[in-house]
Amino acid sequence: MKVLVVGNGGREHALAWKLLQSDKIEGVVCVPGNGGTASMEGCENVKLAVDDFHGIKEVALNHEIAFVVIGPEVPLAIGLADYLKQQNIRVFGPTQTGAQLESSKSWAKGFMKDIGIPTAQWGVFTEDEKTAAFEFVDRYGAPIVVKADGLAAGKGVTVAATVEEAKAAIVAAFGGQFGMAGECVVVEEFLHGQEASVLAITDGETIRPLLPAQDHKAIGEGDTGPNTGGMGVYAPAPVVTDEMMARVETEVLQRAIAGLKERGIDYCGILYAGLMISPEGEVNVLEFNCRFGDPETQAILPLLETPLDELMLACMEKRLADFPPLRWKSGASACVVMASGGYPGSYENGKTIAGLDRATEAGAIVFHAGTELKAGELVTAGGRVLGVSAIADNFDNAFAKAYHAVDCIDFEGAYYRRDIGHRVRTM
Q: Which of 145, 252, 285, 316 binds ligand ADP (CB under 6 A)?
A: 145
Four-CA torsion 70, 71, 77, 83, nearest 10 degrees: -10
With CB under 6 A as the contact rule, the residue among 191, 257, 339, 405 that binds ligand ADP is: 191
What minimum distance in Å lies between the beta carbon of 274 and ligand ADP?
5
| In the complex, residue closest to ligand ADP by CB | 287
If you ran DSSP here, which 8-state letter would residue 301 be given? Answer: G
Tallying the residues shown for the chain, one arrives at 427
- The C-alpha atoms of residue 95 and residue 112 are separated, in whole angstroms, by 19
* Range 317-336, binding ligand ADP (CB under 6 A): none
Question: Which of 8-16, 87-95, 184-192, 351-359 is the region at the interface with ligand ADP (rule: CB under 6 A)?
Answer: 184-192
Is residue 157 close enough to count as binding ligand ADP by CB under 6 A? yes
Q: Which of residues 288-347 bind Mg ion (CB under 5 A)?
A: none
Which residue lies nearer to Mg ion by CB, 35 or 295? 295
Q: Does 274 bind ligand ADP (CB under 6 A)?
A: yes
Q: Who's near 248: CB < 8 A, 6+ residues apart?
A: 198, 209, 240, 273, 275, 283
Nearer to ligand ADP, 287 or 309 (CB): 287
* DSSP states along 226-265: EEEEEEEEEES-TTS-HHHHHHIIIIIIIHHHHHHHHTT-
Residue 190 near which of Mg ion, ligand ADP, none (CB within 5-8 Å, type-dependent): ligand ADP
Closest separation in Å from C-beta 223 to ligand ADP: 10
Torsion angle, alpha carbons of 344, 347, 350, 355, to 10: -60
Least distance CB 199 / Mg ion (angstroms)? 12
Instruction: Find the angle CA(370)-CA(371)-CA(372) to the nearest 5 degrees.
Output: 135
Cα 239 to chain centroid, rounded: 19
Chain-centre distance for alpha carbon 167: 29
Q: Which of residues 233, 286, 336, 359 is near ligand ADP by CB under 6 A?
A: 286
Which residues contribute to the site for Mg ion (CB under 5 A)? 274
Which residues contribute to the site for ligand ADP (CB under 6 A)? 120, 145, 147, 154, 156-157, 159, 188-191, 195, 217, 274, 286-287
